[in-house]
């Protein structure tokens, strides 16, 4: 009948971090410390904003969303990577691999869209201060936040479905430290043109569009700041935008380096990817805390168990 006897893949083997032999213990301790700091820092930011009524504003509402995202994003690959480093357990189930692909693109896309929403919030606050509360009311904030999550959910569902409806009947060795679309579809025993084209288009269009919208927002903000007569007003406006600009540069810098430099070595690409997955989520709370007196005050009161209203 012309049938070929194929073994259907039920699990994958992650090769892990390249050239890491002999460094497993050091890498494990380092990444574990980063991961714990990420969880602690983002939980503190989230708790401080929730418990301090003075921080119940649109900017801090979106910052709460970012803290949740950073906890989730760092948890996609870090726990499995730590298991691989300590226990040398490289096997991941088919379901686990699907989960990594789905949540990586779901949370990554949500973060990209959220940065755009946060830039719009700063634009309205600085360029239209008298109409800020009217425009950025609770309903609008909820719609913008929900929109980022829902849009990204469908975006990731499509990519994950296209990836895992392909037949996998050959090698199950993923040449990476976590499951992502391109390392996984290389193992498919079918034509991957559609998924590769859709993925390249989506992962290109979403960040580029968001980056240009953020850039347009900050160009308008810059002109508004330059027109301000008060040096105190200019300083305050610059201070509120500096933290956001820093995390935006970290996020889009990583994307640009990976997706616009196809000839980068695998070791360098892995290092950049680990920085984005492990280090950046840890840095975000520090960046917002160090440059924000209101958040630092809320954290001090949270630590001291004082009522923020007093």
Write the burial class of residue 15 (CB in 10 Å: 0-12 exposed, 13-18 middle, 19+ buried): middle
pLDDT of 305 reads 57
> Residue 197: what pLDDT?
87
The mean pLDDT of 209-220, rounded to a whole number, is 92
222 token code pair: 């810059």
Rounded Cα–Cα distance for residues 239 and 233 (Å): 10
Residue 2's pLDDT is what?
41
φ, ψ at 66 (rounded to 5°): -65, -40
CB 155 within 8 A of CB 147: no
CB 221 within 8 A of CB 122: yes
Q: What is the pLDDT of residues 42-62, one digit of tens each?
A: 999 999 999 888 889 999 999
Q: Are 292 and 243 in contact (CB under 8 A)?
A: yes
Tokens of 99: 């989960």
Q: Which of 157, 166, 148, 83 is nearest to 111 (CA)?
A: 148
Rounded to the nearest integer, the mean pLDDT of the chain is 87
- Calculate the alpha carbon distances from 234 to 7, 166, 221, 223, 227 in Å: 65, 55, 11, 11, 9
Of the candidate CATH numbers 3.40.1080.10, 3.40.50.150, 1.20.1070.10, 3.40.640.10, the domain formed by 11-295 belongs to: 1.20.1070.10
pLDDT of the residue at 9 = 83
Tokens linked to 36: 């714990």
Q: Residue 185 is encoded by which pair of tokens?
A: 């579809």
Ranked by mean pLDDT, which of 108-112, 260-264, 287-291, 298-302 comes out on top?
108-112
Distances, alpha carbon 269 to alpha carbons 22, 163, 263, 274, in Å: 20, 22, 10, 9
Q: CA angle 10-13-19, nearest 5°?
A: 170
What pLDDT was estimated at residue 296?
83
* Structure-block tokens of residue 163: 């990836």
pLDDT at 35: 96
Lowest mean pLDDT among 2-11, 28-37, 43-52: 2-11
Q: Is the pTM of this model over 0.75?
A: yes
Give me the pLDDT at residue 308, please.
Answer: 47
């Amino acid at each position: 009948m012309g049938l070929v006897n194929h073994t259907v893949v039920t699990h994958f083997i992650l090769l892990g971090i390249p050239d890491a032999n002999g460094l497993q213990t050091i890498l494990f301790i380092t990444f574990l410390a980063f991961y714990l700091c990420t969880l602690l820092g983002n939980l503190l930011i989230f708790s401080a904003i929730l418990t301090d009524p003075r921080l119940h504003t649109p900017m801090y509402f979106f910052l709460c969303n970012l803290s949740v995202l950073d906890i989730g994003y760092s948890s996609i690959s870090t726990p499995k990577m730590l298991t691989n480093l300590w226990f040398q357990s490289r096997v991941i189930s088919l379901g686990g691999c699907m989960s990594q692909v789905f949540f990586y693109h779901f949370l990554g896309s949500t973060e990209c869209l959220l940065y755009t929403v946060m830039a719009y919030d700063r634009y309205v606050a600085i360029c239209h201060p008298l109409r800020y509360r009217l425009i950025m009311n609770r309903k609008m904030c909820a719609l913008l936040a929900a929109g980022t999550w829902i849009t990204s959910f469908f975006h990731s569902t499509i990519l994950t479905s296209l990836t895992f409806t392909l037949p996998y009947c050959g090698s199950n060795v993923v040449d990476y430290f976590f499951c992502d679309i391109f390392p996984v579809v290389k193992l498919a025993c079918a034509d991957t043109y559609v998924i590769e084209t859709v993925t390249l288009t989506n992962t290109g269009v979403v960040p580029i569009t968001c980056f240009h919208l953020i850039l347009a927002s900050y160009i308008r903000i810059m002109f508004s700041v330059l027109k301000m007569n008060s040096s105190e007003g200019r300083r305050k406006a610059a201070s509120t935008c500096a933290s956001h600009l820093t995390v935006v540069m970290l996020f889009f810098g990583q994307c640009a380096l990976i997706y616009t430099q196809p000839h980068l070595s695998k070791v360098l690409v892995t290092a950049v990817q680990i920085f984005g997955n492990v280090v950046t989520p840890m840095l975000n709370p520090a960046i917002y805390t160090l440059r924000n007196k209101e958040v630092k005050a809320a954290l001090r009161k949270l630590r001291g168990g004082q009522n923020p209203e007093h």
